[in-house]
Amino acid sequence: MVENNEIGQKVRRYFIQVEKEFMQLVSNKKEENFFHKFDNFEELSKELETYYSLLNETIKIVELLNSRNGAELLQVDGFMKNSTGFSPLQTFGVNLKNHYFIPTELGKIVGKSPHEINLILEKNGLQEKVNGNWKQTEKGKPFGIVLKSGSFEQIKWRLEVLEA
């Protein structure tokens, strides 16, 4: 379930690496009498419960990240970063630089309406209105792609378009 997309694959690789490091740590600590640092089984059990709880919370974060589109991921990441200093996307090595977004999603990211985003794109010469439809200009081609569905075309833009 988690591996159905690029984010899920990166998260799975991350957890495999964490598990290897944990097993190595436990293996090394066994040699250093790791279990002797606990006065009793209750202390050891409490420490293992903490690790287990952290793992479960991390899995919940991963499932949440996998269930969202790019714009929602950036919103959640921005909120988390501003509130806690923790960036889930950075922690899991997720880079949305090569993802494409419709103006509605871009607007959600920067707090503007889709109409405002379209006007900004037009003002910057990245798109123009032809016969009532937005068309990508030559200047806009490095920043977006045009998706065609029958007679309908939609332009999706990379995040860097917000900086253009």
pLDDT in tens, 88-129: 788 877 777 778 889 998 998 888 999 999 999 999 999 999
What is the chain's mean pLDDT, rounded?
79
DSSP character for 38?
S
What gap in Å lies between CA 78 and CA 87, rounded to an integer? 7
pTM strictly above 0.85 = no
**Cβ neighbourhood burial of 140 (10 Å; 0-12, 13-18, 19+):** buried
Token pair for 131: 């016969």
Q: What is the pLDDT of residue 72?
A: 76
Q: Is the pLDDT of residue 11 over 80?
A: no
Query: Residue 152: helix, strand or coil by DSSP?
Result: strand
Q: Is the pLDDT of residue 10 over 60?
A: yes
The percent of residues above 70 in pLDDT, for the chain, comes to: 77
